[in-house]
Amino acid sequence: MHPERHPEWRPAAGSVPPPLVLQAGTDRPEATLWLLPERALWWPAGATLFVADVHLGKAAAFRTAGLPVPGGTTQDNLQRLGALLTRHRAQRLVVLGDWLHARSGRTAAVLDALLAWRQAHAGLACVLVRGNHDGRAGDPPRVLEMTVVDEPWPCGPWQCRHAPPPPDDPPGAHERAEGIALCGHVHPVCVLHGPARERLRLPCFVLTRQALWLPAFGAFTGGHAVPAAPGRVRCAVLDDAVCPIERPPPQPWRIVPPG
């Protein structure tokens, strides 16, 4: 029922959950990424936190349309994001698309919460790689001081995108030319089945030869089930760990001990 666990990575009670650490190539220490249980990606060499599909204001947009959905999701998303930025002492945040959900979700309450969050992280460089929802919602207000770019956006050894690269690209093409793609858009989840017909649906990271897909960071986003496939490894997000379901990871990825 459960994906493979790694006892040496289990946290002590009350400690910070450990990451799953990946390196893209054996001789590229600068291309090391931490897959975090908080559904985010940390790049230590660049002091950069990556998230995807935050969809701020989605619940507000639904309420504007007359749908009875609970409030507080924007505040929850921003609090979780702020905690990660503080814990890792991030110097830069890169949002891989869909920062805002819709134009109708840009309510006064949502914009006030965003401004308060930005003021709490005033020294942080913020980059938004436009996604499909950003086109509908419009660019963030200038007061948030976010640099807005189109995909693909190069960032060190990575190619930052919203949507994954085409699956028929030749293996290694992005690593050689533009960098391995970091992307969102799919909202990937994996579905695990147990012997007693249990069914567990979990957010997941997805590794391919060309890309790393991030799970949706937003708390009110839903997910798309990604099945197992050749050349693809899904890494399930648990409460306190990120665990590969399949092994080994496709080239050029390799799992390395945290530290």
Q: What is the pLDDT of residue 175?
A: 46
Domain range for 245: 19-166+181-256
Task: Check which CATH number belongs to the domain holding 186 and give it.
Answer: 3.60.21
Instruction: Examine residue 75 and state whether it is found in any structural domain, yes or no.
Output: yes
| 6 within some domain | no
Residue 175 lies in a domain: no
pLDDT of residue 68: 54
pLDDT lower than 70: segments of the chain: 1-16, 26, 58-72, 101-105, 137, 168-178, 259
Residue 132 lies in a domain: yes
User: What does the alpha-carbon distance between residue 44 and residue 59 come to, in Å, rounded to a whole number?
Assistant: 33
Q: Is residue 3 part of a domain?
A: no
**60, 105 Cβ separation under 8 angstroms:** yes
In this predicted model, what pLDDT tens digit does every residue of 121-173 receive, in sequence order? Answer: 999 999 999 998 778 868 889 999 999 999 999 999 999 999 999 875 555 54
pLDDT at 29: 81
Question: Does any domain span residue 29?
Answer: yes
The pTM (predicted TM-score) of the whole model is: 0.86
Two structure tokens written together for 193: 């089945």
Tell me, yes or no, whether 114 lies in a domain.
yes
Q: How many domains are there within the chain?
A: 1
Q: Say which residue the tokens 């220490």 belong to.
A: 29
Q: What is the pLDDT of residue 1?
A: 36
With respect to residue 71, please indicate whether it lies within any of the assigned structural domains. yes
pLDDT at 64: 60
Residues 183, 107: Cα–Cα separation, whole Å: 27
